[in-house]
Chains A and B, each alone.
Chain A
Amino acid sequence: AQKITQTQPGMFVQEKEAVTLDCTYDTSDPSYGLFWYKQPSSGEMIFLIYQGSYDQQNATEGRYSLNFQKARKSANLVISASQLGDSAMYFCAMMPGFQKLVFGTGTRLLVSP
């Protein structure tokens, strides 16, 4: 079965602090991609970061980094120096066999001043 699990329905963080959003996945495909998307209240899905199953190094994109632990099947998103504009829903997604995306249920992040 292909499944993404996000166990944190909501997270709170103060501005300028770092926050980690958890994601675990399950797939039998040896090749897959892992993605994080941000969904503001307006509804669009914004791509943040990608990690390939064969990548040796953790992905980084500006303030976003992905803590990839293949043996544990986890792909946590780390946001450094949170900003008020980071308040949104965050979805972890997997692309087994590099076709369709399988999404988790999301984590709502609230950044306070």
Chain B
Amino acid sequence: DTGVSQDPRHKITKRGQNVTFRCDPISEHNRLYWYRQTLGQGPEFLTYFQNEAQLEKSRLLSDRFSAERPKGSFSTLEIQRTEQGDSAMYLCASRGPVSGGEKDEQFFGPGTRLTVL
């Protein structure tokens, strides 16, 4: 596997239900990011992990959202008590270790499209 994978690719749920998404980064990448993209907008940063440590969380990440990366490999993003406003594409990206070269780009997964009915 040479890319970032995300599961599921699509999720339809009813308002009030909990959902969990998974992201598997590129194997040697220790930095992992979650973004949310709503229709017609660019992706917005949600949270960032370096290894297993969650180093930054956006104000967009309300108390209903929680992200984990327990062993510094895959990550999960859980949304509790989903609302219709949570409908969006959830993108995961990974990035290699700090090398002193800032040009290492973030590699994105295919995204999980969430629809809340």
Residue numbers of A with Cβ under 8 A of B are: 4, 31, 33, 35, 37, 42-47, 50, 52, 91, 93, 95, 98-106
Contacts and interface: CB of A to CB of B under 8 A. Distances in A.
Interface centre among B40, B91, B103, B107 (most CB of A within 10 A): B103
B42 A106 contact: yes
Interface of B: 33, 35, 40-45, 48, 56, 89, 91, 93, 102-103, 105-111, 113
B90 to A, nearest CB: 11
B105 A35 contact: yes
A43 B42 contact: no
Contact of A102 (B45, B48, B105, B109): B45
20 contacts: A33-B103, A35-B105, A37-B108, A42-B110, A43-B110, A44-B108, A44-B111, A45-B91, A45-B93, A46-B108, A47-B107, A50-B103, A95-B102, A98-B102, A100-B45, A100-B48, A101-B45, A101-B93, A105-B42, A106-B42
A99 B48 contact: yes
B45 A43 contact: no
B48 A93 contact: no
Contacts of B93: 45, 101
Contacts of B35: 101
Contact of A103 (B40, B43, B113): B43
B56 A52 contact: no
Contacts of B43: 45, 91, 101, 103
